[in-house]
Amino acid sequence: MKIPRLTDTTLRDGDHAVSHSYTPEMVRTIVRNLDEAGVRIIEVSHGSGLNGSTIQQGFSTHSEFDLIKVAVETAKQAKIASLFVPGIGTSDELREAAEIGISVIRIAVHCTEADVTEQYFRLAKELGLEAVGFLMMSHTQPANVLVEQAKLMESYGADCVYVVDSAGALVQSGVRERVSALKEALTIEVGFHAHNNLGLAIGNTMTALEAGADQIDGTLRGLGAGAGNAPSEVLVAVLNKMNLDTGINLSILMDVAEEVVAPLMETPIVIDRDNLSSGYAGVYNSFLLHVRHAAEKFGVKASEIMEELGKRNAVAGQEDWILDVAVELAEKKGLKV
Amino acid sequence: MSKIKAAILGSGNIGTDLMYKILKNEGNMELALVAGIDPDSEGLARAQAKGIRTSHHGIAAILEDPEIKIVFDATSAKAHKLNAQSLRVKGKLAIDMTPAAIGPFVVPTVNMKEHIESMNVNLISCGGQATTPLVHAVNRVVPVHYAEVITTAASVSIGPGTRQNVDEFVRTTANAVQQVGGAKLARAIPVFNPAEPPINMTNSVYAVIKEEFDEGAVISSVQSIVAEISSYVPGYRLKGIPFIDYRETPWGRLPTVVIMNEVAGDGDFFPTYAGNLDIMTASAYKVGDLYAAHFLGSKEVSR
Ligand SMILES: NC(=O)c1ccc[n+]([C@@H]2O[C@H](COP(=O)([O-])OP(=O)(O)OC[C@H]3O[C@@H](n4cnc5c(N)ncnc54)[C@H](O)[C@@H]3O)[C@@H](O)[C@H]2O)c1
């Protein structure tokens, strides 16, 4: 097996879990530690990508460009990455992030909509950025569709395409099929991004590596949307045991996860009923806190909302459907809306 | 009764659906010509089958006919930028359905009267036609500090033009939410959903309010504008009753009016899920008809 490149996305995926409340001080501390530990890529942006500070996705308490600037200034070795979702971000924000000094942009779309990314891949390459494609909600499509979509991204100039298990809904056979199909069809690198709704974040990441993945994602303590991600420190420990030396210092990662990141969590991230129902129904993980808000407002169960969102095939960016579903469920129960 | 002669430029999806809308309505316009550039286009064949004069030489045939007073441009922003000047010189009103945005944005229920003497008007975007009147309906009761509109459409209903330029949709729609809707600040976010069977177009509006206001008055203002819109877009309806949700915003914890809307198409040329296309052609028809009435001087333009 190949030694993978690990991207730590505590400061991007984890942004959902802290309700977009990262401060420049937190970013400085986390980046300093990750950088010292030898993590090569650190992702920093709103959880929903550049310009994600909205009612729909949740407003940030601090300007994400200020946070990215702190990250760029703090990192001595590591490259800073940001996430970009077309429609949430526009070329303007991509340019601004590049100006501040990010080196990698990860361009994310629902896994059937790759053709909207062309404009942004071309711009990213013009700006001299490494450009990674993110096929979100990859569990919803079979391997052949993902291959088609990944090839479009490759043709636009992508340096790598990720199979993204946004809902934490894939089991190992599903990961193996998808990653190996992409490996076979593409000449560029392939990545895998896990969520832990079914308790498989680490296991699925290892399966992806067995299937040939070149890049993987983790977050400190698993701090990420919904059920969280594969914890970076656990990934490094497991890779060490497999004699795959990433060169990352495990003890620094363990310390920062324990002493800096764990205290940021309002409650520990566990596979509770809401997270399990979300993964089981195949619902985008960043919906969790919005679903809980709607459940409380309209007096319905979060897991019922999850189930219905799964039936309706909601995709990333459709937090407004949560309200719609909650209102309908409340009406059905005869609750006053 | 005499009618105003109109032409459609661009015989693609939008142009063809609009043709059926003009033909089925007994309004103030008569469709005199459908012009495209592709002699083999389905749109031109369908026009001929309906007995409408066609041309595949682009704008030339339209410019040659002095009787044509209204031109619907359903080509592309690039083509409209080239065509706008010659239409103006010939004294023809251009109803621009592309994102070129040369003329002012118009929405039938909001600002027609202001622009009734204009010679070039722009129809924003599908999301703009669906959401700016909702923002306006709130804003005429209490100032909207910030409006965010989310437009979700079935993937299959989104053509290559829009896909290659998502930025253009975002900017044009957000600008219109401010200029037409009246919001001080605005964001617009499109979402494409590939579910099968395809979903209807849905729109959500979040309007953040900074001052005390009468919730009931806001809700009835929204309901009344929805009734007006559904008179020309029959599939346009509210999903649930608009409600107030308190949200943490950069301006503090503030009441946010949440309006959810669905648009089903009329099925003239597109399947009914494509409410996003239908609202564009139905709005264009309505705008054209109001101008035609104005030209005839026969009816009063309502707004
Ligand atoms: N599809 C939508 O949801 C939607 C919604 C709102 C607005 N629009 C806008 O409406 C316009 C048309 O969209 P569409 O979906 O019908 O696209 P389309 O590609 O189906 O149609 C465009 C047509 O214009 C013709 N054309 C191009 N240049 C021309 C020229 N110079 N002279 C004459 N004809 C020319 C093409 O041959 C084609 O038939 C676009 O500007 C689009 O952005 C589309």
Tokens 């104005």 correspond to B294
Please write the tens of the pLDDT for every residue from A9-26: 999 999 999 999 999 999
Q: Which chain B residues touch A115 with a CB distance below 8 Å? A: 160, 163-164
Mean pLDDT, 10 residues at a time, over chain B (303 residues)?
Answer: 93 94 95 96 96 96 97 94 96 95 96 95 97 98 98 93 90 97 98 96 98 97 98 96 95 97 93 96 98 81 44
> Would you say A322 and A302 are in contact if contact means Cβ atoms under 8 Å apart?
no
Task: Give the model's confidence band at A223: pLDDT under 50 very low, under 70 low, under 90 confident, else very high.
Answer: very high
- Ordered structural domains, chain A, with CATH: 5-264 (3.20.20.70), 273-332 (1.10.8.60)
Q: How many residues does chain A have?
A: 337
Tell me, what's the pLDDT at A337? 64
Task: Say which residue the tokens 């209102």 belong to.
Answer: A327
B36 lines ligand 1 (CB under 6 A): yes
**3-class state of residue B136 by DSSP:** helix
* Distance from the B5 Cα atom to the nearest Cα atom in chain A, whole angstroms: 38
The minimal CB distance from B164 to the residues A90, A118, A312 is found for A118
| Domains delineated in chain B | 4-123+281-302 (3.40.50.720), 126-271 (3.30.360.10)
Give the one of B163, B206, B239 whose C-beta lies nearest to A116's C-beta. B163
SS (H, E, C) chain A: CCCCEEEECCCCHHHHHCCCCCCHHHHHHHHHHHHHHCCCEEECCCCCCCCCCECCCECCCCCHHHHHHHHHHHCCCCEEEEEECECCECHHHHHHHHHHCCCEEEEEEECCCHHHHHHHHHHHHHCCCEEEEEEECHHHCCHHHHHHHHHHHHHHCCCEEEEECCCCCCCHHHHHHHHHHHHHHCCCEEEEECCCCCCCHHHHHHHHHHCCCCEEEEEHHHCCCCCCCCEHHHHHHHHHHCCCCCCCCHHHHHHHHHHHHHHHCCCCCCCCHHHHHHHHHCCCHHHHHHHHHHHHHHCCCHHHHHHHHHHCCCCCCCHHHHHHHHHHHHHHCCCCC
The ipTM assigned to this model is 0.94
pLDDT tens-digit map of A224-247:
999 999 999 999 999 999 999 999
* pLDDT surpasses 80 at A202: yes
pLDDT of amino acid B303: 41
Residue bearing tokens 């009016």: B257
User: Binning pLDDT at 50, 70 and 90, where does residue A336 land?
Assistant: low
Nearest atom (ligand 1) to Cα of B153: 3
SS3 assignment, position B55: strand
Q: Please indicate whether residue B131 is annotated as part of the active site.
A: no
Query: What does the pLDDT read at residue B1?
Result: 63
Whole-number CA gyration radius for chain A: 19
Residue A266: per-residue pLDDT? 87
